Structure 1
């Protein structure tokens, strides 16, 4: 079967958006997927009107075309979306340029942090799922406070006291909670996590909840508290309270809030 011969002017259907460009434009990056498609090395579908169909978001793909045509770099707010497509289409030059953008570099660093959770990844994912359930889909507030209590080195066999309940009864008196509640429109129920390693969990949650669209800016705050259980002489544990603070508007953090 002979390879398809492509016309000099290419009519594209990019996710429902109709575009026209030159064949030379699509071939500019010779090692890209686009070049493979429009030299016949990779099959391409056509829509009912005979346009070459590319299964992607047309609003983002237009930035790809502008770069291939004129070397125009996308605006900073579009960098992440265009970067994902640059990776998918293996556009090396565009990918290298976009990796200089703060948003792209920041996302890459945070994904590495999440991967680095190691054995604690399961604890993190379970906590994230629980928080998403408690936040819910409706009446999501502009600023939401998520208190998380980590119970560390807890020897559950040393006594039968409910340490989670004991901590919960003390939280309302903490100055840190009072200060953060003043800034928040909503505070979801306390999340309790039993683990011996809490490094980066709240930081990752602040990042991922922002990525999932629950806020424009995510912050975290941590405060260490130590408690000795008085029920049994040998029963000791450490608990640490951390907060994730979500804002649906651009928010200048204060009172110890940190950005991921």
Structure 2
């Protein structure tokens, strides 16, 4: 996949004492994964005929930020996971301190890449990309959602609170992936809002399917431990809605996501495919 080559190109091995953290960063990004966020960015950008190199660099940046979040989420102080994508988590492959630094390195490198002139010649576009990623990945987005998720182990959340939690924790980064394609392509407000609407519905559907896989999936197929949410006593879409209603809600959200794409016609077919993939995935 092109984004894998771009990640390998950007996170280069080095000599010296810092080589270990670079190795851990490369491990965290190249251990596998579906690359859903880069896929969304690349195919949102394609709607507006964005230059491949610009889209690839932005796609690599979002995957760096996503992988940083996984490295930190897996730590003993957070989800305490030993397995990620069927392989040892970064802190198990290396050590906890190196994993923390690898996550920090990936987070900061994401902004290094987005702010570089090679990502787009227009400085305003680069600034918009950096700002949008900072908002979606920060305390009012992914980080805030993760905090709420940790607190949820000791609270009873209703469906509204769970929806807000997952919109922040998972959905905002997925929304950035689509919005970034619009930013790179100088899209109109209507087009940008359509992609954000698609992404928000897709993000919620993604999380509901994640909850379903945690409840009834096979660890050998999902590539990570299952049953963790129930063991931690966390409120999820499945625990509140039940399996059947959760499946129905995921399908409804997938259909809503596709409806947002009508203004793009056939140019958005790859995004429509992703909606179906998210609903039917097994890992």
Which band: TM-score by shorter chain?
A: under 0.3
* Between structures 1 and 2, the one with greater strand share: 1
Answer 1 or 2: higher relative contact order, Cα 8 Å, separation at least 6.
Answer: 2
| TM-score, structure 1 as length reference | 0.27
Name the larger-Rg structure: 1
TM-score (norm. length: structure 2): 0.25
Larger % of helix: which? 2
